[in-house]
Structure 1
């Protein structure tokens, strides 16, 4: 019998894994199917540290949101957001500033439907369906314009998603977003890197290559190019635990084992 939970609507493709549902599985969520779980198990087998990596990237997200609020930025646009889970942008931002506004954008119908259900009673957060590679369509979404004032600074987040796209697609799209956002806006990035030391990212790349067309491992220079002329906040482009940890011990003995590079840039 074909697996068909109640949340699987007709526009959900159950024949292949979904990036959003895969990350939901890796984060311990329930909105995933057996194909997603099977791929997740393969990834964990190839790189047992992937669960901790995903958790550390979530902690980076939370620190970046706090940083944005400290800079006076209270609007958030989370592109390729996936399925909202505990500790997502709206939970972190609105726990610190109840007036903060958040828009999640994803092309996966499961992610959008679950986000809309979760946020149905939250007038300052919503989830819309869109393609992060199409800035014009994304920024023209009624759900975006209804919540976010694009004449004011916005923190735009791209977390655990850019490695599924090559530079030929990503760089022009990001250039347009950067151009369109108001001065004072922030760009927050976390993406897989080739600069980790234990080879785990390459092993995960091998696993994902069977299901996804692209899984890019970017060097530090290629990650820097994502920010264009935005000024990087200290400490620049680093491994997740190195970005403004709450205390020095949070960095850990070997931060390079987390095979992501992260950074926050500001438009002046």
Structure 2
């Protein structure tokens, strides 16, 4: 029997009043992959993620996480997920260890193994030596790795990262991604990430979906998307082509056809 995908969204829709944030989203993420959900601000990415993580109710369509319907198996789904949101989630008045221990309790990590799992999560992100320092003294990169440890302490099968390296310098960004990749390779964990850094998406994501105005406009590996747009295209080019204001419908193939027409017309 074939195992279910890590995430499956079918005809997913969500509106805030008259504003439709997610509009008929169909999305499938294979287990063990690093999947990038890209798009401009307001594309609907965070709203979709909040439904996947059970933080928003699914009113139209469906979401399954490892075959579990999030509308009916909310707590079971939460036990499978680690989530690092855009907003700061670490408490600066607590030590690194205390922050991670708090999340261990929130995720019902058994008391008999809690201390071991806290240390393991801190070690995985390279913060074990700094664990007893107040988080208020951590650098931006260390804070982001601490938040990663908070998400990892429950040994999730699916790690969801919403702009995990926003505002970090290139060295800190690389450090965060090195830890993510190391943990994924060791555990087989699935990773769903949103980012505005196209170099990150190109280097680390095995598959990408470009979202615009609540819908998926293009999907494939970075190389496939670049090739589909045309010779010499970069992922930045693909992003701009697919999410530009001139694109109301269709997708990357419409942009490619327009480019070909423009070349013919000189």
Tell me the TM-score normalised to structure 2 length: 0.35
Higher relative contact order (CA 8 A, sep 6+): 2
Q: Select the structure that is richer in strand.
A: 2
Give 1 or 2 for the bigger CA radius of gyration.
Answer: 2
